[in-house]
Structure 1
Amino acid sequence: MSALDPQGSPSGAGARIVGTGVGDGPGPDVMAADTLDGTKVVTSDGEDVGKISDIMLDVRAGRIAYAVLSEGGFLGMGTTLHAMPWSALTLDTDAKCFRVDISAQQLKDDPGFDKDHWPAMADTTWGTQVHQYYNRSPYWSATRDLDSGIDTDI
């Protein structure tokens, strides 16, 4: 049996999708990454904390590793970036936003990084800390059970 995150999804799974929004063409289950850039992120206490600026892929594993939230700043100046585990996000198709299950203050307490000093995202020590901050199992610890189609933790 797989471990479940606080929203009832397998802890290593991708982003959840809620809402009734189904558009023409692809989506919301399969979408081009660039269509999600600029999507606002709303915290558990209802605060709009920024927008998705990048979606980071684990090229070797063929998975989405992180969404990068751009928070604060003006015209790119003073902006703080935050790597968020993809599984920590819920796409709300009705509100056209991502929701994350932490408070705005918790997000602001995360030191993040700036556009000129990105962390080594392939470093599992760094990645484990990020996933723990968002109460998620690291994405690389989940495997797909091909018989059942269910993600399970190793």
Structure 2
Amino acid sequence: MAETIAIDETNRLISSDKVDGTTVYDRQGEKLGSVRNFMVDKRSGKAEYAVLQFGGIFGIGSEYYPLPWDMLTYDTNLGGYVVEISKERLEAAPRYEERAEPEYDHIYGRQVYGYWGVPYPFV
């Protein structure tokens, strides 16, 4: 009989459907929001952004904040991602409302990465 292959999660990899909804915490362990989805470059396969759902009540009135993927660190103890940002800094960050998703082009990418002080690695 064939050995079962892990398709949801391994020591190093996680299925995209398991990332959606994962909690995002600040360094103090306070919940900031959750990952709504993440954006992957079609050619390189590299995740560029985690889109953080933040604010609102029960998802109503939430806004969406693209964070450069490399800003997130997975914490196995918390079972979620940790970012080195404050709630106040997040509230002033580039964001959009539901059904108003921006054009994820290089101009927008430079704006988002620039806000967070992360070098924009894409041409």
After TM superposition, the score normalised by the length of structure 1 is: 0.68
Deviations 1:124-154 (A, max 9, x none): 121012112222222426xxxxxxxxxxxxx
Q: State how far apart, in whole Å, the 2-side matches of 1:45 and 1:125 are.
A: 32
- Of residues 24, 43, 56, the one that matches 1:73 is 56
Equivalent residues in 2 for 1:3-152, closer than 5 Å: 25=6, 26-121=9-104, 123-140=105-122
Read off the aligned partner of 2:111 and give its amino acid letter: Q
Q: Give the share of equivalent positions with the same residue, in percent.
A: 32
Contact (CA 8 Å) 2:71, 2:83: kept in 1 or not?
A: yes
Contact (CA 8 Å) 1:37, 1:54: kept in 2 or not?
A: yes
Aligned length: 116
Q: State how far apart, in whole Å, the 1-side matches of 2:79 and 2:22 are.
A: 7
Q: State how far apart, in whole Å, the 1-side matches of 2:38 and 2:11 are.
A: 16
Unaligned runs of at least 5 residues, structure 1: 1-24, 142-154
Task: Give 1:92 deviation, angstroms.
Answer: 0.5
Q: State how far apart, in whole Å, the 1-side matches of 2:54 and 2:11 are.
A: 24
Q: State how far apart, in whole Å, the 1-side matches of 2:85 and 2:39 are.
A: 21
Q: State how far apart, in whole Å, the 2-side matches of 1:33 and 1:126 are.
A: 23
Contact (CA 8 Å) 2:25, 2:83: kept in 1 or not?
A: yes
Q: State how far apart, in whole Å, the 1-side matches of 2:19 and 2:75 are.
A: 12
Q: State how far apart, in whole Å, the 2-side matches of 1:89 and 1:139 are.
A: 16
Q: State how far apart, in whole Å, the 1-side matches of 2:99 and 2:84 are.
A: 28
What is the CA RMSD across the aligned residues, in angstroms?
A: 1.7
